[in-house]
Amino acid sequence: MEIIPAIDIKNGSCVRLYQGDFNRQTLFSDDPIEVAQRWKTAGATRIHIVDLDGSRTGLQINLDIIKSINYRTNVPLQVGGGIRDLKTAHTLLNSGIDRVVLGTAAIENPDMIQHLCKIWGSERVVVALDAREERIAIKGWIKETSVSVSTLATQMANIGVQRFLYTDISRDGTMTSPNFEGVRKLVVETNKSILASGGVSSLKDLEKLSNIGAEGVILGSALYKGDICLEEAISIVDQGQ
């Protein structure tokens, strides 16, 4: 299982939100590039980046910072937040970003997802399943839909998506433990690669996610608050595989 540190960027700084609430944020660094270099030094094989401003506006507000992180660290990046048209996705992928993460577009423009899978290959496309009570939320988690996690996952798998990022919004940033059952259900039902996010607070959480069959886990608050050491987490997971 791959351990993937997260960098959420808002107004050019590295922050963490509580349950996706933009009014409940904690500032951890005003230099996301330095944070990325820190995670690289700690052994990260991939970094998850979210343009929080982009997730609300639909525009890649922090694109220059993301490009700088990619250039300065030379670590594969998966980037989400505000990628709602082909031009934006192509710009990121052409600039060397390894994977794009799309949530809103999966609901509003599934043809775009299918096109990206065909043009770039499914390995470079991740569909975000951001859920509140098992219903998908979009546009920075502000707008709720009636679409269930299982329904969207099935639709996306049918058009070629091979990897999903599942986040239980109610647990994101809370460090109360992940939604293990939600992750397990997706692993079993889709038979696709599942990345887990939201609520991870301990090494035991990581071990359980690995045993469930998650391909990877996104670490945010637990890293920034010091509850999990990235080097130790990577070492323990590697030893268990």
Dihedral, CA atoms, 101, 105, 18, 27, nearest 10 degrees?
60
**Number of helices followed by number of strands (H, E) in the chain:** 11, 12
Which one from 8, 53, 168, 172 is the annotated catalytic residue?
Answer: 8
Q: In the chain, what is the straight-line distance between the N-terminal and C-terminal CA atoms, in Å?
A: 8
Helix runs in the chain, H state only: 32-41, 52-57, 63-73, 86-94, 104-108, 110-120, 149-158, 180-190, 203-212, 221-224, 230-239
Q: Catalytic annotation on 130?
A: yes
Structure tokens at 141: 């988690």
Which one from 30, 85, 98, 130 is the annotated catalytic residue?
Answer: 130
Q: Catalytic annotation on 111?
A: no
Closest CA to 140 of 130, 152, 148, 149: 130
Write down the residue that tokens 């433990």 correspond to: 177
Using CA atoms, how far apart are residues 128 and 139, in angstroms rounded to an integer? 12
CA triple 140-95-224, angle to 5 deg: 50
Using CA atoms, how far apart are residues 223 and 172, in angstroms rounded to an integer? 13
Which positions are annotated as active-site residues?
A: 8, 130
